[in-house]
């Protein structure tokens, strides 16, 4: 009797690896501890201030608005602060766990991964975004999610890549009015990335539709739910009219200065574009997107009527950069550069108080009063 050799079945990866879960839990605990420490030291989160100050928080960032609306239903400020901190810490913790998993999968050593994530987590504005003002989180997540999708389109370039990017694009819409125009080049890029899309007009239209439909569905959903809740459809359109109805050219130098001072990591994707002998085929579009999307934000925020703060594009760039590190294969020397610049960015974020400063937050963060506060609590 003849025996035949059968190909081995592909082993399914575990849904959640122990190390990934551990990183998630440690990151969650660390962020939550810092956030709670800041609150215990008397700091009022900037989100809560915005919520109490009237309608200014309705900026068209639908995800953060939804969270703030729910939090706004609670009367107690302490509870509001704790819920926001917990939400931000859980999301950030999850993201760190995922980043760890992806970096390890992409050949980074445990030590290298931990250093990179620690450098990222210790960046002043990143920490600020998690513990003090989390309205920008959906934007950072959107940028972090889009980069691997663009990379997949370059690397694989199949229909599934277009579908994946299309499914992530609603995040760009939900992040706010200023990011919404990015949907157009992304959708066009998705349609043109496929070889059939470049050759055949029908394929181009099909790809474009598939890239856009999820965003359209979410947009229709937002309109539907706003109408259902009695807020009025005009309130959906208003943030866009406010943003784009008025050109308000501002200080471009200052905006770009903040971007590249707090996120000098932009140099690494640019170096990647020219670095000789890469251990992989050079994928330029995802590297360009890491810099281009935050650059657009930095320019747009001072061109249009936006309340976006100057440091937001810098964190967006950091998020896109870290996400890019998870999917790119860099030579060892460039990895060293990547980490060194990340460490420099973290150092600059604390030391450069001319471009950005929130003294109250820093005072609360470095306060030791928390110990006395704890002593006041029953049972401690």
For binding to another protein (CB under 8 A), which residues are involved? Answer: 2, 4-7, 9, 159-160, 162-163, 196, 200, 202-203, 205-207, 209-210, 213-214, 216-217, 220-221, 224-225, 228-229
32 versus 190: smaller Cβ distance to another protein: 190
- Cα–Cα distances (Å) from 274 to 214, 341, 375, in that order, read 35, 17, 57
228 versus 368: smaller Cβ distance to another protein: 228
Cβ atoms of residues 237 and 328 within 8 Å: no
Rounded to 5°, angle at Cα 351 from 346 and 353: 120
CB of 66 to another protein, least distance (A): 13
184 versus 209: smaller Cβ distance to another protein: 209
Q: Which two tokens stand for residue 22?
A: 């551990």
Cα dihedral 232/233/239/240 (nearest 10): -170
89 versus 190: smaller Cβ distance to another protein: 190
Q: At what angle do helices 284-303 and 252-262 cross, to 10 degrees?
A: 140
Cβ atoms of residues 222 and 177 within 8 Å: no
Nearest by Cα to 147 from 341, 38, 284: 284
169 versus 315: smaller Cβ distance to another protein: 169
190 versus 290: smaller Cβ distance to another protein: 190
Nearest by Cα to 104 from 37, 21, 166: 21
CB of 257 to another protein, least distance (A): 42
CB of 5 to another protein, least distance (A): 8
How far is it, in rounded angstroms, from Cα 162 to Cα 182? Answer: 16
For residue 304, list its beta bridge partners: 247
CB of 270 to another protein, least distance (A): 34
CB of 164 to another protein, least distance (A): 11
CB of 197 to another protein, least distance (A): 9
213 versus 278: smaller Cβ distance to another protein: 213
Nearest by Cα to 35 from 141, 126, 140: 126
Give the phi and the psi of residue 13 in degrees, each rounded to 5: -70, 145
CB of 209 to another protein, least distance (A): 5
CB of 210 to another protein, least distance (A): 5
Rounded to 5°, angle at Cα 47 from 45 and 52: 100
* Tokens 């706010």 sit on residue: 176
CB of 60 to another protein, least distance (A): 20
- Cα–Cα distances (Å) from 52 to 81, 87, 213, in that order, read 12, 19, 36
52 versus 160: smaller Cβ distance to another protein: 160
7 versus 54: smaller Cβ distance to another protein: 7
How far is it, in rounded angstroms, from Cα 328 to Cα 66? Answer: 34
Give SS3 for 277.
coil
């Amino acid at each position: 009797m003849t025996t035949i050799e059968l190909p081995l079945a592909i082993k399914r990866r575990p849904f959640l690896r122990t190390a990934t879960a551990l990183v998630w839990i440690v990151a969650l605990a660390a962020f939550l501890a810092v956030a709670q420490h800041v609150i215990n030291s008397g700091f009022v989160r900037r989100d809560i201030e915005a919520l109490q100050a009237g309608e200014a928080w309705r900026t068209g960032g639908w995800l953060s608005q939804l969270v703030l609306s729910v939090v706004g239903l609670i009367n107690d400020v302490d509870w509001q602060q704790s819920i926001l901190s917990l939400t931000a810490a859980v999301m950030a913790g999850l993201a760190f766990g995922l980043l760890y998993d992806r970096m390890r999968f992409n050949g980074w050593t445990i030590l290298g991964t931990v250093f990179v994530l620690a450098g990222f987590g210790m960046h002043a504005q990143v920490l600020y975004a998690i513990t003090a003002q989390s309205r920008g989180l959906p934007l950072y997540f959107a940028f972090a999610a889009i980069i691997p999708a663009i990379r997949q389109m370059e690397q694989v370039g199949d229909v599934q890549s277009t579908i994946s990017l299309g499914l992530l694009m609603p995040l760009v819409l939900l992040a706010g009015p200023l990011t919404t125009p990015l949907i157009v080049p992304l959708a066009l890029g998705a349609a043109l990335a496929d070889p059939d899309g470049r050759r055949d007009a029908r394929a181009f239209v099909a790809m474009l539709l598939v890239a856009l439909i999820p965003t359209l569905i979410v947009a229709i959903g937002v309109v539907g739910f706003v109408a259902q809740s009695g807020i009025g459809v005009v309130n959906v359109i208003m943030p866009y009219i406010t943003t784009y109805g008025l050109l308000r050219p501002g200080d471009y130098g200052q905006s770009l200065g903040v971007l590249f001072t707090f996120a000098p990591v932009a140099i690494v994707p640019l170096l990647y574009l020219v670095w000789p002998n890469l251990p992989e085929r050079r994928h330029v579009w995802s590297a360009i997107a890491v810099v281009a999307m935050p650059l657009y934000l930095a320019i747009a925020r001072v061109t249009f009527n936006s309340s976006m703060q100057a440091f937001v594009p810098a964190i967006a760039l950091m998020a896109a950069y870290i996400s890019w590190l998870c999917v790119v294969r860099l030579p060892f020397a460039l990895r060293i550069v990547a980490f060194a610049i990340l460490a420099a960015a973290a150092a600059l974020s604390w030391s450069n108080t001319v471009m950005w400063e929130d003294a109250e937050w820093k005072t609360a963060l470095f306060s030791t009063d928390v110990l006395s506060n704890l002593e006041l609590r029953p049972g401690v």
